[in-house]
Amino acid sequence: MTTTTTTLTLNESWLSRRNAFDWVFAALVLAGGLFAFVRYAHAMDVYEKVILLGAMPAVIWLGWFWRPLAVLGLVVAAASLLGITSYQGDLARAESVFWLKYFLSSQSAILWMSVLFFMSTAFYWLGFFGGKQADALEAIGSRVAWAAVALALTGTMVRWYESHLLGPDIGHIPVSNLYEVFVLFCWITTVFYLYYESHYRTRSLGAFVMLVVSAAVGFLLWYTLVREAHEIQPLVPALQSWWMKLHVPANFIGYGTFSLAAMVAFAYLIKQQASETRWYKLTPIWLLGVALCFVPVAFRQRAQEAGGSYWVVYAAISALIAAGILLGRKRIAQRLPAPQVLDDVMYKAITVGFAFFTIATVLGALWAADAWGGYWSWDPKETWALIVWLNYAAWLHMRLVKGLRGTVAAWWALAGLAVTTFAFLGVNMFLSGLHSYGTL
């Protein structure tokens, strides 16, 4: 009897926390999902129908779990519907309709996303040196980051619709090439950061996390310039599978949260070494400079395609960032949260990332069996995915069994970013295999 009473009390308490907005949000999600099911069921196979029906309660739960996601969902839905209806079935209207041309076509929205992510990063960093205005500057950085996420999602949804306008055999969810997954990486990483920002009530980590997002945006802009990657292309045969809809987003939740953990680890090391007066001992900052300068070297041949100036500017900005961190490390350390908070954020981000990366790896194996007839073939991409998984499995094992904490854990998480980056980009650049459709 006691157990039953306790269960009912807990359920009533959970439901009692739902307000009118929550129920309106749930009703809108159900209405939109059921409309899509009725309208487009003929174009979906059984797996896609199951995904759609399962997505509705998942989206409602996410919106109820964290209300800013519900607001974000409604804003993105409204903007996406405005963009989609403005096309009226004709892609040529992207050049004549004001909203499409300057804001809501996929390319316009993603370009605005890029600008806003850069602005958000700048405001977060200004917060370290803003004195009495520090909190206000960081708050602006946070709001601008939300706006960038909204435009990233709007651009993604409109791009999905644009691909269908090109032809019934071309339309696909926009997670199929480097351009599209970099957009995915940017908004996923930012959303997870914004959740931790809200949960821990500190905005100072935004300066570090948004650095990796801005670096991704920098690559995205270069890739668009060199390859005209914003042009929608038909899917290659290996990607014409519903597995892609599950495997790629799960994979990039892992990539995004691993990157977030690495940047929090970097902040942890800065805080730990803030009082160090011997510059040659400030290893994290020097490593950041080396890593950032490595990028133009890695892309030296491709840099010529863009006139060679893009990566020169990138290297100059990177050097300024590293120098700014080096000179302002004491002030930065003062605004960062306590080491225990940084350690906890790092741990939780890796835990979430590991869970989703594990799911993605299993889904990838199932997809491989469906596409190539075998679950595992030791393709370079698969091999490096296993290396990433083993790296974070070992990190979590040491954390849970041996109590790994502090500086060693931070260095390991930071090194994990190098491993993850090579698995994501390095394999595409330097190796080949069954995943060669993702080459640069």
Do 79 and 228 lie in one domain? The reply is yes
pTM exceeding the 0.75 threshold for the entire prediction: yes
Q: Would you say residue 2 has pLDDT above 50?
A: no
pLDDT one-digit tens code per residue, 134-190: 999 999 999 999 999 999 999 999 999 999 998 878 888 899 888 999 999 999 999
In a domain, 410, yes or no: no
- The verdict on 144 and 215 lying in the same domain is yes
> What's the pLDDT score for residue 440?
57
Euclidean distance between CA atoms 138 and 143, whole angstroms: 9
Instruction: Report helix, strand or coil for 336.
Output: coil
Of 36, 61, 86, the one marking the end of a domain is 61
Residue 86 sits in the same domain as residue 218:
yes
Instruction: Pick the closest to residue 197 from 409, 341, 354 (CA basis).
Output: 341
Q: Helix, strand or coil for residue 111?
A: helix
Q: Each residue of 278-319: pLDDT tens digit? A: 665 666 666 666 665 555 555 555 545 544 577 677 777 877
Q: Using the 3D structure, point to which of 235, 269, 299 is the last residue of a domain.
A: 235
Looking at the structure of the chain, the number of domains it has is 2
Q: Are residues 166 and 81 in the same domain?
A: yes
For the chain, first and last CA: distance in Å?
64
Specify whether 79 is located in the same domain as 224. Answer: yes
- H or E, element range at 261: helix 243-272
> In terms of domains, do 149 and 191 share one?
yes
Claim to verify: residue 158 and residue 70 sit in the same structural domain: yes
Taken as a whole, the chain contains a residue count of: 440
What is the predicted pLDDT for the residue at 1?
A: 45
Q: Which domain holds residue 36?
A: 28-61
189-217 pLDDT, tens per residue?
999 999 999 999 999 999 999 999 999 99
Residue 162 CA to residue 55 CA, distance in Å, equals: 22
The two tokens of residue 220 are: 């995205």
Domain boundary among 202, 235, 268: 235
Q: Does 210 map to a domain?
A: yes
